[in-house]
A and B are shown apart, each in its own frame.
Chain A
Amino acid sequence: MRFIIQRDRLVQSVQDVMKAVTSRTTIPILTGIKIVATNEGVTLTGSDSDISIESYIPKEEAGDEIVEIKQTGSIVLQAKFFSEIVKKLPTDFVEMEVQNQLQVVIRSGKSEFNLNGLDPEEYPRLPQVEEENAFEIPTDLLKALVRQTVFAVSTSETRPVLTGVNWKVENGELICIATDSHRLALRKAKIEIETAHNYNVVIPGKSLNELSKILDDNNELVEIVITENQVLFKAKHLLFFSRLLEGNYPDTSRLIPAESKTEVIVNTKDFLHAIDRASLLAREGRNNVVRLATLESKGIEISSNTPEIGKVIEELVAQSIDGEELKISFSAKYVMDALKTLEGHEIKISFTGAMRPFLIRPLNDDSLLQLILPVRTY
């Protein structure tokens, strides 16, 4: 393998794939970055076996030559050293050459590094992608999908399947569900998919967080391919693979109440701030409990009382209150997490009694739903 490459592009690609490389791995080869040079360009791969990131540098882009391939081939280099080296090279061009016995020479200007490489045959094989099962969604929508659901995944490993987000593709619609059994976030989005194939997979929450960090904010299309073992997100010159969680995701459709007894419509920001203030006196150790009560005069009262510290009461004017009177307690943290993901100006909260879960939805928008279980306070 031998090629000459623009340093900036190489640095950028190395930085991208480094996000997947961890130093604490039991598989020695995964401490390295795999570099493959073909006649079309150079591909870099980093992996911690949970997620794998592949960055592609094309031979030329917009008439500009980025890589000059002299000889094709592949090698695995120690990520820790390679990333530091490329960052600090003196000139704008880098020459890399693999000599016999996995020795790599990196030249830039007058500096020359000799690095010991690892055998590329040892590197894990990423799944072969079949294009026909793919669907596309814009990057910003994908990031919103992730942001609005992933916060609700469980952090405890007692039920591993709940540490992921359930992605379902049914009838041209993508449904993302996350729950930690105290709250649930659900987001739907229309997608264009050619095959009538339905998917139902669970993607680890950690992987989705990493994905949204690595994607730029724009509305270019991201191609998503779901395979048996892995899911692949394909952006421009960037491939993000993640393993899936094993096991069946619980059926959540019956958890969402169809009817409600009390419906409140309030301004999102006012409500969020009121709860934020009330939670100041709520204790972490006691679930951050905040009480909400409907008032006769078309308002709601939000209060919190911790005898050792003090109490707080705030009245809030609601746009409308329909149905029965209600007193309910809930975790301020869960409600704030949910409110932060809602984009609309106004929200509709649907209660079905003080002991039943309640729903928060943006007004006139069915695509997003946040369900929260109340706290029993007697």
Chain B
Amino acid sequence: MSMWETLEEMQPNVLKMLKNSIQKGRLAHAYLFEGMRGTGKKEISLLLSKSLFCTNPIEGYIPCETCHNCKRINSGNHPDIHVVEPDGASIKKHQIQSLQEEFSKTGVESKRKVYTIVHADRMTVNAANSLLKFLEEPTAETTAILLTEQAQQILPTILSRCQIVTFKHLSPDHLIQKLIEKGVSEKKAPIIAQLTNNLDEGLLLSNDEWFAQAQSIVVKLYEVLRKNPLEALVALQENWFLHFKEKEQIDQGLDLVLLILKDLLYIQLGKQNQAVYLDESSRLEQFALQTSGQRLAHQMTAVLDAKRKLHANMNPQLLMEQLVLELQEGSTFV
């Protein structure tokens, strides 16, 4: 199955739109691909570049994958394609400036040029403003592709200059099936499908020792919280901080906590089949009897709040301690 067909199965609307634009010669000068992690944004941006550069596209739009342009795009060696990725945490102004410098010159091989900005939401304000002018006055045959997971964080002035293409969220059921086909155990697959949309990433997680341990630590933390809230802070020190060190790891840990709360809510609503912690279902069912829907909603808000603060660079230790206090049953922490 060709790359195009595989991706078409994943994002039929996006590819149909791109196909029509290419065939009718109505490509926009700038696209903003917006969608969840793992929905195929980067793959489709590469595919679009190949369609534009391919010397012998099939039916006029499907890249052949065999000509020298397609091959070089796949290996990242095409001189007229530029990819900007965050340098550290953000995309800096100088990166946009060197892109502008590059585009003040003619193309190396042809007049056509494409640039892709990965994680466009992570541009610093300065970088975004430099890009703005550049987006506004595109030279002929230049195509910009901006990729982002959080379109709402992009400057409205940039949004208004791009054609926004929304990538649809992949259904977890679909991914669960694929994961099971690839040999992931039926008990693990649902939880992985909740955390990622990407098959390869999911497979990686299923074999990750760290991830398996993370699950048990999270469940344990919740258990302690239920049984003996006073010990929760101690449990944090003993288990949590030793295991979740990096920001991404803490983020994933918080996702796991959120999934437990979600499961409890599902069980309360009688939708046991939607729960993802299959290993722990008996214990969770017991917990579900002891809490209220309102209480769960409150706790979920607290976790989401913690996730937001994590991205705002709050001290992780304080962050987790605050969360644990919020999650404690009984008296509301003021």
**Closest B residue by C-beta to A50:** B105
Given A228-B111, A229-B110, is A27 in contact with B76 using a C-beta cutoff of 8 Å?
A: yes
Q: Is B168 an interface residue (CB 8 A)?
A: no
Complex formed: what's the CA distance from A246 to B112 in Å? 12
Complex formed: what's the CA distance from A27 to B100 in Å? 17
Asked if A28 contacts B77 (CB within 8 A), the reply is yes
Complex formed: what's the CA distance from A204 to B106 in Å? 11
**Closest B residue by C-beta to A122:** B77
- A26: which B residues are within 8 A, CB to CB? 82-83
Complex formed: what's the CA distance from A27 to B104 in Å? 18
Q: Is B68 an interface residue (CB 8 A)?
A: yes
Q: Is B246 an interface residue (CB 8 A)?
A: no
Asked if A246 contacts B106 (CB within 8 A), the reply is yes
Q: Is B244 an interface residue (CB 8 A)?
A: no
Complex formed: what's the CA distance from A38 to B104 in Å? 36
**Closest A residue by C-beta to B74:** A122
Asked if A245 contacts B106 (CB within 8 A), the reply is yes
Asked if B101 contacts A157 (CB within 8 A), the reply is yes
Asked if B108 contacts A243 (CB within 8 A), the reply is yes
B72, B105, B107, B111: the one contacting A122 at CB < 8 Å is B72
Asked if B76 contacts A28 (CB within 8 A), the reply is yes
Q: Is A125 an interface residue (CB 8 A)?
A: yes
Asked if B103 contacts A246 (CB within 8 A), the reply is yes
Interface bracket on A: 20 to 34
* Closest chain A CB from B138 CB (angstroms): 11
Interface of B is mostly: loop
- A228: which B residues are within 8 A, CB to CB? 106, 111
Given A121-B68, A122-B77, A124-B79, is A246 in contact with B104 using a C-beta cutoff of 8 Å?
A: yes
Q: Is B9 an interface residue (CB 8 A)?
A: no
Asked if A160 contacts B71 (CB within 8 A), the reply is no
Q: Is B97 an interface residue (CB 8 A)?
A: yes
Given A27-B76, A27-B79, A157-B100, is A245 in contact with B105 using a C-beta cutoff of 8 Å?
A: yes
**Closest B residue by C-beta to A161:** B104
- B109: which A residues are within 8 A, CB to CB? 124-125, 127, 229
Asked if B106 contacts A230 (CB within 8 A), the reply is yes
Asked if B79 contacts A49 (CB within 8 A), the reply is yes
* Closest chain B CB from A165 CB (angstroms): 14
Q: Is A278 an interface residue (CB 8 A)?
A: no
- A122: which B residues are within 8 A, CB to CB? 71-72, 75, 77
* Closest chain A CB from B70 CB (angstroms): 11
Q: Is A29 an interface residue (CB 8 A)?
A: yes
Given A27-B79, A29-B77, A124-B79, is A243 in contact with B106 using a C-beta cutoff of 8 Å?
A: yes
Asked if A244 contacts B77 (CB within 8 A), the reply is no
Complex formed: what's the CA distance from A49 to B76 in Å? 14
B71, B106, B108, B110: the one contacting A121 at CB < 8 Å is B71
Within 8 A of A (CB), among B5-21: none
- B79: which A residues are within 8 A, CB to CB? 27, 30, 49, 124
- B76: which A residues are within 8 A, CB to CB? 27-28
- A49: which B residues are within 8 A, CB to CB? 79, 108
Best-surrounded residue of B68, B76, B106 (most CB of chain A within 10 A)? B106
Asked if B105 contacts A204 (CB within 8 A), the reply is yes
**What is the 8 Å Cβ interface bit string for chain B, positions 87-106, against chain A (1 contact, 0 not)?**
00000000001001101111
**Closest A residue by C-beta to B140:** A246
Q: Is A247 an interface residue (CB 8 A)?
A: yes
Complex formed: what's the CA distance from A124 to B79 in Å? 7
**What is the 8 Å Cβ interface bit string for chain B, positions 104-134, against chain A (1 contact, 0 not)?**
1111111100000000000000000000000
Asked if A243 contacts B77 (CB within 8 A), the reply is no
Given A27-B77, A29-B77, is A247 in contact with B104 using a C-beta cutoff of 8 Å?
A: yes
* Closest chain A CB from B65 CB (angstroms): 14
Asked if A229 contacts B103 (CB within 8 A), the reply is no
Asked if B100 contacts A160 (CB within 8 A), the reply is yes
* Closest chain A CB from B247 CB (angstroms): 27
- B71: which A residues are within 8 A, CB to CB? 121-122
Asked if B108 contacts A229 (CB within 8 A), the reply is yes
Complex formed: what's the CA distance from A181 to B134 in Å? 22
Asked if B111 contacts A229 (CB within 8 A), the reply is yes
**What is the 8 Å Cβ interface bit string for chain A, positions 111-147, against chain B (1 contact, 0 not)?**
0000000000111110100000000000000000000
**What is the 8 Å Cβ interface bit string for chain A, positions 10-40, against chain B (1 contact, 0 not)?**
0000000000000000111110000000000
* Closest chain A CB from B159 CB (angstroms): 26
Asked if B106 contacts A160 (CB within 8 A), the reply is no
* Closest chain A CB from B56 CB (angstroms): 15
**Closest B residue by C-beta to A26:** B82
- B106: which A residues are within 8 A, CB to CB? 228-230, 243-246
* Closest chain A CB from B83 CB (angstroms): 8
**Closest B residue by C-beta to A159:** B104
Q: Is B139 an interface residue (CB 8 A)?
A: yes
Complex formed: what's the CA distance from A139 to B113 in Å? 34
**What is the 8 Å Cβ interface bit string for chain A, positions 327-360, against chain B (1 contact, 0 not)?**
0000000000000000000000000000000000
* Closest chain B CB from A94 CB (angstroms): 27
**Closest A residue by C-beta to B98:** A26
- B101: which A residues are within 8 A, CB to CB? 157, 160
* Closest chain A CB from B206 CB (angstroms): 32
- B78: which A residues are within 8 A, CB to CB? 27
Complex formed: what's the CA distance from A122 to B78 in Å? 8
- B105: which A residues are within 8 A, CB to CB? 50, 204, 243-246
* Closest chain A CB from B132 CB (angstroms): 15
Within 8 A of B (CB), among A199-237: 204, 228-230
Complex formed: what's the CA distance from A28 to B73 in Å? 12
Within 8 A of B (CB), among A145-163: 157, 160-161, 163
- B103: which A residues are within 8 A, CB to CB? 246
Complex formed: what's the CA distance from A122 to B75 in Å? 8
**Closest B residue by C-beta to A30:** B79
A229, A245, A247: the one contacting B107 at CB < 8 Å is A229
**Chain B interface residues toward A at CB < 8 A:** 68, 71-72, 75-79, 82-83, 97, 100-101, 103-111, 139
Identify the 3 closest CB pairs spanning chains A and B, nearest first: A160-B104, A29-B77, A229-B106
Q: List 23 A-B contacts (CB under 8 A).
A: A26-B82, A28-B75, A28-B76, A28-B77, A29-B72, A29-B75, A50-B105, A121-B72, A124-B79, A125-B109, A127-B109, A157-B104, A160-B104, A228-B106, A229-B107, A229-B110, A229-B111, A244-B106, A245-B104, A245-B106, A246-B103, A246-B105, A246-B106
**Chain A interface residues toward B at CB < 8 A:** 26-30, 49-50, 121-125, 127, 157, 160-161, 163, 204, 228-230, 243-247
